[in-house]
Chains A and B, each alone.
Chain A
Amino acid sequence: MRLGVVIFPGSNCEQDVVHAAQTLGIDVGYVWHGDTELEGFDAVVLPGGFSYGDYIRCGAVARFSPVMTEVVRFAERGGPVIGICNGFQILTEAHLLPGALLRNTGLKFICHPQPLRVERSVCDWLDLPEGTVVDIPVNHNEGNYYCDSETLRRLHGGGQVVLRYCEPDGSLASGGSAPNGALDDIAGICNERGNVFGLMPHPERAVDPLTGTTDGRPFFTAIVERLAEVAG
């Protein structure tokens, strides 16, 4: 199992992802945005950052990078793809995930550890029990998830809501627990098939005990185990 981490111009979390993977003993390598193949990679990470300066809209330009044609093809074949923060924004712009990420309602760039509740979902990337609360940093200006009501209904119905912002005890505040105004406190969603996962929080920053928590580890280890099972 080899994890590919895509570098776009302006990505800035790719080394964190590589460090996290290496800490967990996962074979990992970089993929350049100009590459036109993903040969040798079994799962792909679109890391955080400010791809192409976030000009026009976050992820709007990155989506047309040469490598994205191959990422879309890989995802359509069932290949596991995770987009973290800016990577999540790129996945929505590329229509691999529904909805969009708007400016945070509070106008602040937010950067702090954030409790998140694991929902029951079809996501291949996570196998934590429903209701598990993890503490993982958020670090973004445009993390306010939005989609129309029909899409929201489909997300809930299809088990595609993977993570929600919550209070430390796992409850949801009546006025919303999202620090960015996200619809229904949504922090992470997956596609219908469960192989494409996008989330605003940064699990790669919660792997090494040096940085506080190790709650981010399952976000990388579950997919490794799943691929090992598939490979038999």
Chain B
Amino acid sequence: MARYEVYVTYKQGIFDPPGATAERALSHLGYEGLNSVKIGKYIQIDADADLATVREMCDRLLANPVIEDYRIVVEGEA
């Protein structure tokens, strides 16, 4: 059994309204030096599956390649 941590984020250049709102709110709270804040999704999968299968899960359902990129971190035994 392996644990896969999947991070889904918008592709470069796609406007992320929740991220922009968080950025503005942090700036209102007085934090300086903010360059950008992006909000994405974290998906944790514990499965008897190889990396290729988890990639397939991302391509078919978990991420939309038109607007999103994903990154998979393999955390080993769950």
Contact = CB atoms under 8 A, between A and B. Distances in A.
A93 B62 CA distance: 12
Contact of B17 (A64, A93, A103, A147): A103
B17 A104 contact: yes
14 contacts: A56-B61, A56-B62, A57-B64, A60-B64, A61-B61, A64-B61, A98-B66, A100-B66, A105-B15, A105-B17, A107-B21, A146-B66, A146-B67, A148-B66
B18 interface: yes
Interface in A81-99: 92-93, 98-99
Interface of B: 14-15, 17-18, 21, 61-62, 64, 66-67
B18 A103 contact: yes
B61 A107 contact: no
Contacts of B67: 100, 102, 146
A146 B15 CA distance: 10
Interface string A50-94: 000000110011001000000000000000000000000000110
B14 A102 contact: yes
Interface of A: 56-57, 60-61, 64, 92-93, 98-100, 102-107, 146-148, 181
Nearest to B67: A100
Contacts of B64: 57, 60, 93, 100
A185 B23 CA distance: 26
Contacts of B61: 56, 60-61, 64
Contacts of B66: 92, 98-100, 146-148
B17 A146 contact: no
Contacts of B15: 102, 105, 181
B18 to A, nearest CB: 7
Contacts of A56: 61-62
A106 B62 CA distance: 25
Contacts of B21: 107
A64 B61 CA distance: 9
A216 to B, nearest CB: 29
Contacts of B17: 103-107
A114 B71 CA distance: 39
A146 B14 contact: yes
A100 B15 CA distance: 13
A100 B14 CA distance: 11
Contacts of B18: 103, 107
B60 to A, nearest CB: 8
A68 to B, nearest CB: 13
